[in-house]
Structure 1
Amino acid sequence: MNLSFFYPLLLLFLFALFIKWIKSKESKWIGSIGEYRVRKEIEKLEKSSPGMYKAFHDLYIPKMDGSSSQIDHIILSEQGLFVIETKNYSGWIFGDEASKYWTQVIYKRKEKFLNPIWQNKGHIKALKEWLGGEFVHIPIYSIVVFMPRAKLKSGIHFTQSHVIYPKQLKQILEQYRTKVIDNERKQYLAQKLKALLVKDKQQEKDMKKQHIQSIQKKQKHIKEHVQQNRCPKCGSTLVLKKGKYGSFKGCSNYPKCRFTQNVS
């Protein structure tokens, strides 16, 4: 048998497997690059203003239902807490505070992704619940950071969150000058947040696995209820509606319940 015939096929097969593996890791790597760039900006802030800012990265906030909320970065200062969500998208980005989904446009290709302001709002809610009543008066500010490769649609005014690029982070933090946390309370809060940091690679791996499983479980719960035309939030009937961006299913208990799900 002439084995030389099979070598090119074997190489082609291995190359295809390699490409598949690269694609499976691509989103994770891209996200990590974005978080790294923001982290470097935060580290510069900490070095230029010693003692003013204390940063915590990649935190998993335990929620009351047993799941967790993953926060990219938290900055603690005398002015309050800043919760940062990093988005490493490219192309044109369209969206506003009221839309459940934003749109990424690269040439003629459009991709929808969850409104990052809503996403960070969920992170802040989980953080507030975890901190408890003793920190209820401490202000928590939302910051969404896009990489320079993304071009945000101009003319949109945001009131619930800052939507910025990494280089603007220092400018945003310096807008807040009123001291609301004394040093003793700041140290106590830092210890609480420090307790959420992962201790080693194995714990980090376990936390990420649990976090992904909780997300998948939630998505499965939503999918099953939507298929049965039942609202996964309150149990009411879902009704088909038409909106600005196409058809969607909405809760019949609106406005008490505002659950919606796009219909593809």
Structure 2
Amino acid sequence: MLLSCFFILFIILIITYYKYIIPSIKGRKGERIIARKLAKLDERKYEVFNDVKFNIKGKQSQIDHIVISDYGIFVIETKNYQGTITGSERSENWTQSFPKSKYNFYNPIRQNLGHIYALNYVLKDVSIDYHSIVAFTDKSKLKVKTSTDVVQPQQLLKTIKKYKHHSIDKHQKELIKSRIQKYNVN
């Protein structure tokens, strides 16, 4: 009896490890790859925040990366997925495909819109241009149809730098930075 309880507990631990811990480790690895890319931005023009968490109306929103610049705020969702990624702007789910299997996952553009909503709540009295970017690591092949920027690491900095319209002044940038720091529960 005691041996079967240990066996069941062991199976539960293995399932938990593969279902929750492995994806979390992979996600953090992808976020580090993108954070290293973002660290190459000119610090005089761009301020980078990584792994920001807000608690909005009892719900937690974890934003992988926020970049504050004269050209608006970039909200970046990172995905460390392998295989071929397909999806469109408005579809609820996207697909990760391998030669012998397929998996659906929630549309990361929609996920990032939730992050922008949370950030907008924190910055509700500041008029800002938000730029949503979804960054997949190089392990995936992207076949998506979107107007939102969906990129891999090598295109990330070029994508950010294509925005040239000044929309935030120095005072607003300081207010935004202090508000993010104040509400970040991380």
- TM-score computed with the length of structure 1 as normaliser: 0.62
Cα distance, 1:153–1:195 mapped onto 2, change above 3 Å = same
The answer for unaligned runs of 5 or more in structure 2 is 1-9
Letter in 2 for 1:40: R
Contact 1:59/1:196 (8 A) holds in 2: no
Identify the residue that residue 233 of structure 1 maps to in structure 2: none
* Equivalent-residue separation in structure 1 for 2:155 and 2:88 (angstroms): 20
Asked if 1:62 is matched to 2:55, the reply is: yes
- Decide which structure has greater strand share: 2
CA contact 2:91–2:107 (8 Å) conserved in 1 = yes
For residues 92 and 130 of structure 2, the distance between their equivalents in structure 1, rounded to whole angstroms, comes to 22
2:128 is the counterpart of 1:138: yes
Pairing of 1:6-85 with structure 2 (within 5 A): 22-23=17-18, 24-45=20-41, 49-63=42-56, 65-85=57-77
Verify the 8 A CA contact 2:54 2:184 in the aligned structure 1. no
**Structure 1: distance between partners of 2:32 and 2:175:** 27
Query: Structure 1 residues 110 and 127 mapped into 2: Cα distance closer, same or farther (>3 Å)?
Result: same
Displacement of 1:37 in angstroms is 0.2
Q: Which has the higher contact order (CA 8 A, sep 6+)?
A: 2
Matches of 1:41 and 1:163, distance apart in 2: 15
Tell me how large the CA RMSD over aligned residues is: 2.2
Distance 1:43 1:108, change over 3 A: same
User: 1:43-86 CA deviation, whole Å, 9 max, x = no partner?
Assistant: 111xxx231100111111222x3212111110000111000000
Q: Which residue of 1 aligns with 2:4?
A: none
Q: Is residue 87 from structure 1 mapped to residue 79 from structure 2 by the alignment?
A: yes
Which residue of 1 is the match for residue 97 of structure 2?
A: 105
Letter of the 1:37 partner, please give it. I
Query: Quick check: 1:169 aligned with 2:143?
Result: no
**Alpha-carbon deviations, 1:206-229, whole Å to 9, x = none?**
xxxxxxxxxxxxxxxxxxxxxxxx
Contact (CA 8 Å) 2:122, 2:183: kept in 1 or not? no
SS at match of 2:138: coil
SS at match of 2:39: helix
C-alpha displacement at 1:19, in angstroms?
Answer: 5.8
Q: Distance in 1 between matches of 2:115 and 2:163?
A: 21
CA distance in 2, matches of 1:21, 1:125: 31
Q: Which residue of 1 aligns with 2:7?
A: none
The sequence identity of aligned pairs, in percent, is 38
- How many Å apart are 1:91 and its aligned residue? 0.2
Q: Quote the offset at 1:130 in angstroms.
A: 2.1
Q: Could you tell me which residue of structure 1 aligns to residue 119 of structure 2?
A: 127
Please give the secondary structure, in 2, of the residue aligned with 1:95: strand
2:181 corresponds to which letter in structure 1? Answer: K
Separation in 2, partners of 1:85, 1:130: 18
Q: Distance in 2 between the 1:131 and 1:187 partners?
A: 12
Does the 8 Å contact 2:71/2:168 carry over to 1?
A: yes
Give the conservation status (yes or no) of the 8 Å contact 1:69–1:126. Answer: yes
